[in-house]
Amino acid sequence: MNLLTELVAFLVAIGVLVVVHEYGHYSIARLCGVKVLRFSIGFGKPIVQWVSKKTGTEWTIAALPLGGYVKMLDERESDERIPAHELPHAFNRQPVGKRIAIVVAGPIANFLLAIALFALVFASGVNEPAAIVAAPPAHSAAAQAGFQGGEKIVSVTNANGNDTQPVRSWSDLRWKLLAVAFDHGHVVLAARDGGSTYDFPLDLGKLRGKDLDDDFMSHLGLEAGGGTLQVAGVEPGSAAERAGMRKGDHLRAIDGRPVDSAGTFISYVKAHAGKPLHLEVMRGNATQPLMLTVTPVGQRDDETGETVGHIGAALAAQAPSVEVRYGPIESVKLGAHRTWEIAVYSLRMFGRMITGEASLKNLSGPVTIADYAGKSARLGPSAFLSFLALVSISLGVLNLLPIPVLDGGHLLYYLVEAVTGKAVSERWQLVLQRAGLACIVALSAIALFNDLARLIHF
């Protein structure tokens, strides 16, 4: 059933994104008076096709659903002589301004879709983890800022102190810190503890470029807390079973440190391989805590190669949540702002991958997209719409990269023509086209390798 869900969600996601992108090209081409010969969803052998009596455009759904295209009347691509009365409707006969508009219309359509999807999510409301901080690891940036755990963050103020933004949820906090993390700056977090509000200066300057590959929040020592942590299962013969842990136990503290998040607990266990740890748990209807001692077994971490502690217990965290809902106008504004933030983040991350500051493991292919599509679909409409918006932005950004074959490559040609007054020669276009195709093949190969690595964990 999970495989079917992933397949259906993937096909829906790809179908929507391709239709929107190509319809952007199609609609502006028609507006500019260009004749569109074919609008195809997918590649390869047509499964369904029909011709519009009004426009003469052939609409096609093809066998391979990984993309699509809009074919316009163009003298350079026609094997037959185009009738004189149709020449004014050929793409290559259009002024450079119109050609630029037609090329950028596809990516812009993806951005507009993302804005609409985010606005719908914001307006309909979504439950998100509250911005309550779990007890941070010692010596982390969060610990150095003064966080002890349990504080609820209510606002973020920039380094200059002239811009304070409210924080509504943990997700909201993460997005507000992301741009600052890229710039290695610092902020002041206002957090409520009890009945008072305190300022916590947080320095993000110690983050390395590759810290942004993963969850940069965990590198800062920030994790959502304030909830309860329950044992969801115990492996037979494990350290947890030997210590007397049972399914259903509520973990309250480890070595006297309050436990309110799975990440905090797991990090502490990993860092104490072979060392006895004292747990405080609540079991059943008991009114007094039960004290257990567990000694994590040392195991090799597949990612880092280091020896980490493992006790063999599955955990289920229940964090407090808040419903985040905005008015229609504010939702559209926030949707546009979130789309802009993600687009800029994507470009900066791609730049860091080129310079080696970020890992190429961040590139994902169809297998990973299908996996996330299925997972988000199972989480509900809001999660799936947010995922769809993210992929739509990624598609828009990717197509605007100045790589021949992509929209951005054609845009580069037309911008050169607009500045110099001369079109890029066909010889140079052919050379650049081959280079661009090589880049796309290389990127696709890396993305596919990353997909396989995630799938079989090598």
Rounded Cα distance between 295 and 293, Å, is 7
Which candidate in 6, 22, 151, 280 is catalytic? 22
Rounded Cα distance between 400 and 119, Å, is 23
Q: Calculate the CA dihedral of residues 397, 399, 400, 402 and round it to 10 degrees.
A: 130
Whether 22 sits among the annotated catalytic residues: the reply is yes
Q: Residue 269 forms beta bridges with which residues?
A: none
Rounded Cα distance between 339 and 391, Å, is 11
165 contacts 158 by C-beta, under 8 angstroms: no
**Alpha helix segments (H runs only) across 231-380:** 239-243, 262-270, 328-355, 366-379
254 contacts 278 by C-beta, under 8 angstroms: yes
Residue 46, exposed/middle/buried by CB under 10 A (0-12, 13-18, 19+)?
A: middle
Contacts of 238 (CB under 8 A, 6+ apart): 297, 311, 312, 313
Phi-psi region of 59 (alpha: psi -120 to 50; beta: other; left: phi over 0): beta
Residue 208, exposed/middle/buried by CB under 10 A (0-12, 13-18, 19+)?
A: exposed
186 contacts 204 by C-beta, under 8 angstroms: yes
Q: How many CA atoms lie within 13 A of 268 on its CB side?
A: 24
Closest by CA position to 5, among listed 436, 374, 286: 374
Closest by CA position to 21, among listed 49, 40, 44, 43: 40
Phi-psi region of 421 (alpha: psi -120 to 50; beta: other; left: phi over 0): left
Rounded Cα distance between 411 and 408, Å, is 5
64 contacts 18 by C-beta, under 8 angstroms: no
SS3 of residue 43 by DSSP: strand
Residues catalogued as catalytic: 22
